[in-house]
C-alpha cells in the first residue's frame, strides 16, 4: 500500500513538472505571435526606410512557417522521439529569437522570425504528446485541458507581456526575452520529460508528403493573411488558393498510396477527430481574433495606451485559467460535447455583451470587464474540449500527429479570423460600427462552432483519479 502510494505521488509530481515544461513551451510559442504586435511600432520606427508591407513580414513570416510545419513536425516527433524533437524545437526557437534580437537589418529580423516559426511548429505537437505520455488514458481530457489553457493564456497575455518588455528593453527586448524563456523551458524539462524512443523502426518520413503539406498550409495562410492588402481577387491571391487546391488533391492522393503517409486519412474516419478539426477551424476564427479586436477597440476608441490595453484584456485569460480545472472535471464526467456546447453559448453571451454594451464612452468595469470575464469562461469550456476530442481516438504512436493537425486547423482559423476582422474594420479602424461588425462576425462563428460541437461523440471518460493541479 505504501509502495503504491509512493509511486502514485511520484507520478503526480512528474506530471506537474512535465505540464510545467510543455505548457511553458506551448505558451511561449503562442505568446510570441501577439507580443511582436505590440513591438511593431518600435520596429516601424527603427526600419523607417522600409514600407509597411515589407515590415508586415515580421509577423506574416512567423505565421506561415509555424502553420506550414505543424503536421509534418507532429509526424517527425512521433517517429524520432518527442523529447528529442521538443528540445530541438526549443533550440531553433531560441536561435531565431537571438538572430532577430541582434539583427542590424530587417531581412535578418525576418529570417530570425522564420526560424522562430519553424522552432515553434516543432515544439507544439511534441509538447502535447509528451504530456499525454505521462497521463493515464482516463486522464487525457484533463491533461489536454491544462495544455490548451497554456495556449489560450499565451495568446491573451501577449499584449500585456509585450508592452512590459518593450517599455523595458525596446523591440529587441521581446526577442531576448523569448530566447531566455526557451532556455528556462529546456532546463525545467531536462530531468523530467519522458525519454520516448523512436517510433516504428521501419517507418520512413514521406518527404514529398511533407512538402505538399507545407505548401497547402503556407499557401492558404499567406492568402488569408494578405488578401485584404493585396486584394482578394488579385492574381497573386487567386493563384495561392488554386495552388492550395491542387496541392491538397495531390496530398490526398499520395496519402492514399504511401505506406507511411504524412497525413493518415484513417484518422478522419473517427467521428471525434473529424468533427473537432472542423470545429477548431471555425472556433479559431472567433477566438483567434477576439483579443486583437478588443485591444484595437481599447486603443483606438477609448484611447488606452499599449500597456493599459494589454492589462485591460487580462480578465479573459485569467478567468479561462481559473475555470480550466472545473471544465476538465466536467468533461471527464459528462463528456466533451456536454461541456463544449454550453461553452459556445457562454462565449456567445460574452460577445453579445460587447456588441450591445460597448460604445465610445469609456466605462471599463461596467461595460468591458463583464464581457471579458464571460468570454474567458466560455473559452475555457469549448477550446480544451475540442482539443481533447481531436486526440481522443489517437493511439500513442500518433499523438503528436493528431495534436499537430488540430493545432494547424485552429491556426488556419485564427489567420482567417484576423483577415476577416481587418476587412470588417476597413479603412476606418476608429468607427464603432465597424467594431460591432467584428463582434457580430465572431458571434456568428462561435454559434457555428457550438453547432459543430453537437456532432461530437457523447462519450464519457471512465472514472479517473484526480489530476494534480
Torsion angle (degrees, nearest 10) of CA 123, 39, 440, 422 = -100
Continuous segment of H or E residues that includes residue 129: helix 106-133
| Grid cell of 331 as nine digits | 468533461
> Which pLDDT score, from 0 to 100, does residue 4 have?
63
Task: Report the CATH number at residue 298.
Answer: 1.20.1250.20
How far from each other are the two terminal CA atoms of the chain, in whole angstroms? 23
In a domain, 224, yes or no: no
How far apart CA 148 and CA 384 sit, in angstroms, is: 5
How far apart CA 30 and CA 151 sit, in angstroms, is: 6
> Which pLDDT score, from 0 to 100, does residue 310 have?
82
* Residue pair 441/331 in contact by the 8 Å Cβ criterion: no
Question: Between vectors from CA 110 to CA 108 and to CA 114, what angle results, nearest 5°?
Answer: 115
| Grid cell of 415 as nine digits | 489567420
User: Please, which contacts does 263-268 make with residues 24 or more away whose CB atoms are closer than 8 Å?
Assistant: 263/71, 263/209, 263/213, 263/405, 264/398, 264/401, 267/393, 267/394, 267/398, 267/401, 267/402, 267/405
Backbone angles phi, psi at 85, to 5 degrees: -65, -40
Q: Which of 219, 295, 218 lies closest to 34 in space, CA to CA?
A: 295
Q: Which of 321, 375, 367, 368 lies closest to 347 in space, CA to CA?
A: 375
Per-residue pLDDT tens digits for 11-67: 888 899 999 999 999 999 989 887 887 788 788 889 999 887 788 888 889 988 999
pTM for the model stands at 0.86
Handedness of CA 322, 328, 331, 334 (dihedral sign): negative
* Residue pair 453/382 in contact by the 8 Å Cβ criterion: yes
Residue-wise DSSP of 205-271: --HHHHHHHHHHHHHHHHHHHHHHHH-TTSHHHHHHHHHHHHHHHHHHHHHHH-SS-SS-GGGGGSH
> Which pLDDT score, from 0 to 100, does residue 199 have?
56
How far apart CA 215 and CA 63 sit, in angstroms, is: 14
* Residue pair 394/401 in contact by the 8 Å Cβ criterion: yes
> Which pLDDT score, from 0 to 100, does residue 462 have?
42
Domain count of the chain?
A: 1
- Which parts of the chain have pLDDT scores under 50? 200-202, 462-469
* Residue pair 185/25 in contact by the 8 Å Cβ criterion: yes
> Which pLDDT score, from 0 to 100, does residue 41 have?
77
Which residues, at least 6 apart from 107, have a Cβ–Cβ distance to it below 8 Å? none
State how far the alpha carbon of 365 is from the alpha carbons of 146, 193, 197, 371, 404, in Å: 28, 42, 52, 10, 38
> Which pLDDT score, from 0 to 100, does residue 463 have?
39
Number of helices followed by number of strands (H, E) in the chain: 15, 0
CB atoms within 10 A of CB 205: 14
**Full domain range(s) for residue 119:** 2-205+262-453
| Grid cell of 54 as nine digits | 515589407
Which residues, at least 6 apart from 396, have a Cβ–Cβ distance to it below 8 Å? 132, 133
Question: Between vectors from CA 36 to CA 293 and to CA 76, what angle results, nearest 5°?
Answer: 105
* Residue pair 347/327 in contact by the 8 Å Cβ criterion: no
Which residues, at least 6 apart from 4, have a Cβ–Cβ distance to it below 8 Å? none
Q: Which of 231, 375, 214 lies closest to 293 in space, CA to CA?
A: 375
In a domain, 211, yes or no: no
| Grid cell of 217 as nine digits | 498550409
> Which pLDDT score, from 0 to 100, does residue 468 have?
37
How far apart CA 302 and CA 118 sit, in angstroms, is: 37
> Which pLDDT score, from 0 to 100, does residue 3 have?
61
| Grid cell of 179 as nine digits | 530566447
How far apart CA 85 and CA 76 sit, in angstroms, is: 8
Amino acid at each position: 500500500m505504501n509502495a503504491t502510494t509512493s509511486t502514485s505521488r511520484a507520478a503526480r509530481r512528474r506530471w506537474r513538472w512535465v505540464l510545467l515544461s510543455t505548457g511553458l513551451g506551448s505558451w511561449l510559442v503562442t505568446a510570441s505571435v501577439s507580443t511582436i504586435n505590440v513591438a511593431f511600432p518600435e520596429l516601424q520606427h527603427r526600419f523607417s526606410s522600409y514600407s509597411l508591407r515589407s515590415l508586415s513580414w515580421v509577423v506574416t513570416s512567423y505565421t506561415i512557417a509555424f502553420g506550414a510545419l505543424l503536421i509534418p513536425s507532429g509526424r517527425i516527433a512521433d517517429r524520432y522521439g518527442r523529447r528529442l524533437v521538443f528540445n530541438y524545437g526549443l533550440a531553433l526557437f531560441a536561435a531565431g529569437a537571438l538572430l532577430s534580437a541582434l539583427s542590424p537589418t530587417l531581412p535578418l529580423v525576418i529570417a530570425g522570425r522564420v526560424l522562430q516559426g519553424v522552432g515553434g511548429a516543432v515544439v507544439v505537437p511534441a509538447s502535447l504528446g509528451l504530456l499525454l505520455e505521462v497521463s493515464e488514458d482516463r486522464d487525457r481530457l484533463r491533461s489536454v485541458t491544462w495544455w490548451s489553457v497554456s495556449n489560450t493564456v499565451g495568446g491573451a497575455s501577449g499584449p500585456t507581456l509585450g508592452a512590459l518588455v518593450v517599455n523595458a528593453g525596446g523591440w529587441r527586448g521581446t526577442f531576448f526575452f523569448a530566447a531566455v524563456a526557451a532556455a528556462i523551458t529546456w532546463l525545467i524539462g531536462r530531468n523530467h520529460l519522458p525519454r520516448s524512443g523512436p517510433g516504428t523502426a521501419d517507418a520512413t518520413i514521406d518527404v514529398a508528403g511533407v512538402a505538399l503539406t507545407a505548401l497547402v498550409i503556407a499557401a492558404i495562410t499567406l492568402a488569408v493573411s494578405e488578401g485584404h492588402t493585396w486584394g482578394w481577387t488579385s492574381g497573386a491571391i487567386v493563384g495561392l488558393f488554386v495552388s492550395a487546391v491542387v496541392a491538397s488533391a495531390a496530398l490526398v492522393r499520395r496519402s492514399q498510396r504511401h505506406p507511411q503517409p504524412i497525413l493518415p486519412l484513417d484518422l478522419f474516419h473517427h467521428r471525434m477527430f473529424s468533427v473537432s478539426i472542423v470545429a477548431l477551424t471555425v472556433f479559431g476564427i472567433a477566438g483567434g481574433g477576439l483579443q486583437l479586436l478588443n485591444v484595437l477597440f481599447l486603443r483606438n476608441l477609448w484611447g488606452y495606451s499599449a500597456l493599459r490595453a494589454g492589462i485591460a484584456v487580462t480578465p479573459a485569460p485569467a478567468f479561462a485559467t481559473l475555470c480550466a480545472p472545473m471544465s476538465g472535471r466536467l468533461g471527464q464526467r459528462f463528456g466533451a460535447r456536454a461541456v463544449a456546447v454550453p461553452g459556445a453559448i457562454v462565449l456567445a453571451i460574452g460577445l453579445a455583451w460587447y456588441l450591445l454594451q460597448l460604445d465610445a464612452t469609456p466605462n471599463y468595469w461596467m461595460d468591458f470587464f463583464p464581457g471579458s470575464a464571460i468570454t474567458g469562461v466560455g473559452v475555457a469550456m469549448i477550446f480544451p474540449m475540442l482539443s481533447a476530442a481531436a486526440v481522443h481516438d489517437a493511439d500513442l504512436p500518433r499523438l503528436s500527429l493528431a495534436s499537430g493537425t488540430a493545432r494547424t486547423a485552429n491556426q488556419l482559423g485564427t489567420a482567417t479570423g484576423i483577415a476577416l476582422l481587418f476587412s470588417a474594420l476597413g479603412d476606418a479602424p476608429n468607427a464603432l460600427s465597424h467594431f460591432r461588425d467584428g463582434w457580430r462576425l465572431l458571434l456568428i462563428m462561435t454559434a457555428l462552432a457550438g453547432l459543430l460541437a453537437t456532432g461530437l461523440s457523447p462519450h464519457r471518460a471512465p472514472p479517473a483519479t484526480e489530476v494534480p493541479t
